[in-house]
Every structure is written in structure tokens, then in C-alpha cells.
């Protein structure tokens, strides 16, 4: 059960993070919507509240330590602490390595990996103090490697290492740290792909189908509960079996 738990979901004003926020709110959690896009944060919080859910919006740049610390301070004073952190914010700059710039690398690593590190660092002490905490990192099946995905794959692989290290470090305090590795999920980004790319990717999919954002939300909800207290340091692939076969 996650009833009355306070959950901070980064990058949750749209896509997978937004749908996860709605799922967790429906399960009784108090949700904190974070994004850098203020308009979307306000809109998402309004929609949550309109459905009778308890929600708070915080505009913050997760790549900036001071911004993250301010966000955690705001949430802590409004909701008296954070129980569950979902490091969901992510972005990708893709392309062959000859075309990738240093800036492509830096921004991808910063948003996906540094952001997760800064948020984990900022919330972990209160979780340790409480003797309960859930850190759920949204990585990607792409951490296994992908042609044209050097920065993204590296960042997501880094998240797996972060997940496992934090699990080893904080396990004894009742804080678990796990990763979810989504495969192909139906998001707005999918709809923007060319028809032939979509066809190709689907042909590689054992289920022959895309996952939905609620499949990720379901996995997050499972790992967030007290029922999963003996699960830590794990990578749960939510990918319709795509992690099992050759690309």
C-alpha cells in the first residue's frame, strides 16, 4: 500500500511520469509533480486536484544542486517528508558517435544520471532517519547498449550502477533502491517516429505490441509498497520480453 505516502516524481508533468503520478495518486499517495516547464506543472497539479487527489507542483532543474535542495525543502515543509522518490526525468540525444557533440553527451548524462544522483542525495537522509524509503529509478532497456545511443545508454547504465550502490549502502536502513527498465512504450515520442521506424521496432518485439505508460506505473507502484521491502538493487524490465532477444 502506498496510501498517504509522499512521492516525488521527477519529470512528471508529461508522458510516463505524469501517468505514474496519476496511478500513484489513485492508489492514495500524495504526489509531487516536478518539471522545468512551469505551465505543464501547474496544469498537471490542477488536473490531479480536480480529481480529488492531493498534489503539489515544484518547478526545479534536477541538474542543479541548489534547485534540487530547494525543491526537497519545499516538499518537506508542505508534506512533512518524502517517502518515495521516482527518478523519472530523462531525455535522449541520439545519433552515430561521429555526429554526437560534447554537449549532447553532457546534457544526456546530466538530465538522466546527474539528476538522479542529486535527487537521491537530497532525499536519502530523511528516508534513513524514518527507516523507510523507496528509490525507484526509471532506466531503460537501452542500458544494455544501442547503436546510436552512446550517451543515453551510458547514462542509463550509470543509473543501474547508482541503483545498486545505493541499495547496498541504504539497505540496512529500510531504504530500497530499484530500477525499472522500460522497453517500447506508447508515448508521444513514439507517435512522432517515422512509420518505417515504428514497423521495424515492432518487428523486434516478442509480444508484437507496445507497452502502455500504465505498465510502467504498475511496476513503480509495486516497487513502492511495503510489500517489496525484500527487493532491492534489482532491475525490473518492463519490455514485453524485448530484453531477452537479439536486437
Site residues for other proteins, window 127-156 (CB under 8 A)? none
Q: What is the DSSP letter of 119?
A: H
Give the residue, chosen from 150, 167, 190, 200, that forms a contact with other proteins under the rule CB under 8 A. Answer: 167
Please report how close the Cβ of residue 174 comes to other proteins at its closest, in angstroms. 8
Close Cβ partners of 42 (under 8 Å, ≥ 6 residues apart) = 57
53 flagged as catalytic: no
Cα dihedral sign, 211-90-53-133: positive
Q: What is the CA radius of gyration of the chain?
A: 17
Please report whether residue 208 would count as binding other proteins according to CB under 8 A: yes
Close Cβ partners of 138 (under 8 Å, ≥ 6 residues apart) = 16, 17, 86, 87, 88, 90, 179, 180, 182, 216, 220
The Cα 2–Cα 245 span in angstroms is: 34
Please report how close the Cβ of residue 219 comes to other proteins at its closest, in angstroms. 7
Stretch that binds other proteins, among 5-13, 42-50, 188-196, 205-213 (CB under 8 A): 205-213
Do 70 and 82 touch, CB atoms closer than 8 A? no
Three-class SS state of 189: helix
Q: Of 172 and 196, which CB lies nearer to other proteins in the complex structure?
A: 172
Q: Of 74 and 234, which CB lies nearer to other proteins in the complex structure?
A: 234
Please report whether residue 235 would count as binding other proteins according to CB under 8 A: yes
Please report how close the Cβ of residue 78 comes to other proteins at its closest, in angstroms. 30
Please report whether residue 164 would count as binding other proteins according to CB under 8 A: yes
Do 135 and 115 touch, CB atoms closer than 8 A? no
Give the residue, chosen from 96, 172, 195, 203, that forms a contact with other proteins under the rule CB under 8 A. Answer: 172
Please report whether residue 160 would count as binding other proteins according to CB under 8 A: yes
Partner residues linked to 134 by β-bridges: 84, 176
Q: Of 2 and 219, which CB lies nearer to other proteins in the complex structure?
A: 219
CB atoms inside a 10 Å sphere around CB 80: 10
Q: What is the DSSP letter of 93?
A: -
Give the residue, chosen from 43, 67, 74, 228, that forms a contact with other proteins under the rule CB under 8 A. Answer: 228
Which residues does the annotation mark as catalytic? Answer: 152
Binding site for other proteins (CB under 8 A): 160, 164, 167-168, 171-172, 174, 176, 183, 206-208, 211-212, 215, 218-219, 221-222, 225, 227-241, 243-245
Amino acid at each position: 500500500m502506498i496510501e498517504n505516502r509522499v512521492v516525488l516524481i521527477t519529470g512528471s508533468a508529461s508522458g510516463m511520469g505524469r501517468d505514474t503520478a496519476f496511478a500513484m495518486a489513485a492508489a492514495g499517495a500524495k504526489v509531487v509533480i516536478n518539471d522545468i516547464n512551469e505551465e505543464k506543472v501547474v496544469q498537471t497539479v490542477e488536473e490531479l486536484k480536480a480529481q480529488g487527489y492531493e498534489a503539489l507542483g515544484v518547478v526545479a532543474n534536477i541538474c542543479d544542486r541548489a534547485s534540487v535542495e530547494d525543491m526537497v525543502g519545499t516538499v518537506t515543509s508542505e508534506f512533512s517528508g518524502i517517502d518515495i522518490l521516482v527518478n523519472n526525468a530523462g531525455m535522449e540525444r541520439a545519433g552515430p558517435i561521429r555526429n554526437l557533440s560534447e554537449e549532447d553527451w553532457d546534457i544526456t548524462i546530466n538530465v538522466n544520471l546527474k539528476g538522479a544522483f542529486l535527487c537521491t542525495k537530497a532525499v536519502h537522509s530523511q528516508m534513513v532517519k524514518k527507516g523507510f524509503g523507496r528509490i525507484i529509478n526509471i532506466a531503460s532497456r537501452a542500458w544494455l547498449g544501442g547503436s546510436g545511443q552512446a550517451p543515453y545508454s551510458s547514462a542509463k547504465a550509470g543509473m543501474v550502477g547508482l541503483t545498486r550502490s545505493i541499495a547496498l549502502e541504504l539497505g540496512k536502513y529500510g531504504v530500497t533502491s530499484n530500477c525499472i527498465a522500460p522497453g517500447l512504450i506508447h508515448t508521444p515520442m513514439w507517435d512522432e517516429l517515422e512509420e518505417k521506424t515504428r514497423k521495424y521496432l515492432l518487428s523486434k518485439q516478442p509480444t508484437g505490441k507496445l507497452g502502455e505508460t500504465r505498465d510502467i506505473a504498475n511496476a513503480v507502484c509495486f516497487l513502492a509498497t511495503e510489500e517489496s521491502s525484500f527487493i532491492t538493487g534489482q532491475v525490473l524490465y518492463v519490455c514485453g520480453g524485448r530484453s531477452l532477444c537479439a536486437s
